Structure 1
Amino acid sequence: MLAVNEYFEGQVKSIGFQGEDKPASVGVMEAGDYEFGTAAPEVMHVISGALTVLLPDNDEWQTFKAGDKFDVVGDAKFQVKVSVQTAYLCVYG
């Protein structure tokens, strides 16, 4: 079953699904600044566009472009800056 999610007054939309091995979601973020929280570890894959991210316990912002991925620990918050519409795939666990 697909789960449609909307965050930040519609600025971020995703569709959750059961991947081959783990739950995942695919979505799009509009330009803006966001703070996300994690329950479990996540791997974020940038499909199109770019995400500039401040990961937990890190003092430096990092930019990830299409084809890049990054890991986020579980039970944490992280900051994201988006300058153009950006598509992503997030794999949980």
Structure 2
Amino acid sequence: MISENQYFDGNVKSLGYETADGKSTIGIINPGEYQFGTAQKEIMHVVEGELSALLPDSEEWKLFSAGSHFEVPANSSFKVRSEVQTAYLCQYR
């Protein structure tokens, strides 16, 4: 089954699905800055565009371009910001 998700007044939208490895979402982030919380480890792949991320235990933003990824541990929070619409794949493990 495919689930639809919408956050931050529609500025982040995704479709969720299940694989043999676990839950994943694929979506679009509009320009802006957003804070997310995690329940599971998340692996965020930037498909198109670019995201800056402020990861847990970091004081500096790091830029991730298309084709790159970053990981966020379970039970934490992180911020992302983008200047352009950005497509992503998030794997929950």
**TMscore range, shorter length:** over 0.9
Q: Structure 1: which amino acid aligns with 2:90?
A: C
Q: Find the counterpart in structure 1 of residue 85 from structure 2.
A: 85
TM-score normalized by structure 1?
Answer: 0.97
Q: Structure 2: which amino acid aligns with 1:89?
A: L
How well do the aligned residues superpose, as a CA RMSD in angstroms?
0.7
| Cα displacement string for residues 11-67 of structure 1 (whole angstroms, at most 9, x for unaligned residues) | 000000012412100000000010011000000000000010000011111000100
Q: In the comparison of the two structures, how many residue pairs are matched?
A: 93
Q: Find the counterpart in structure 2 of residue 76 from structure 1.
A: 76
Gaps of 5+ in 1: none
CA distance in 2, matches of 1:16, 1:60: 30
CA distance in 1, matches of 2:25, 2:59: 27
Identity rate, percent:
47
1:28 lines up with 2:23 in the alignment? no
Deviating runs (4+, > 3 A) in structure 1? none
Gaps of 5+ in 2: none
The DSSP-based 3-state class of the residue aligned with 2:58 is coil
The DSSP-based 3-state class of the residue aligned with 1:44 is strand
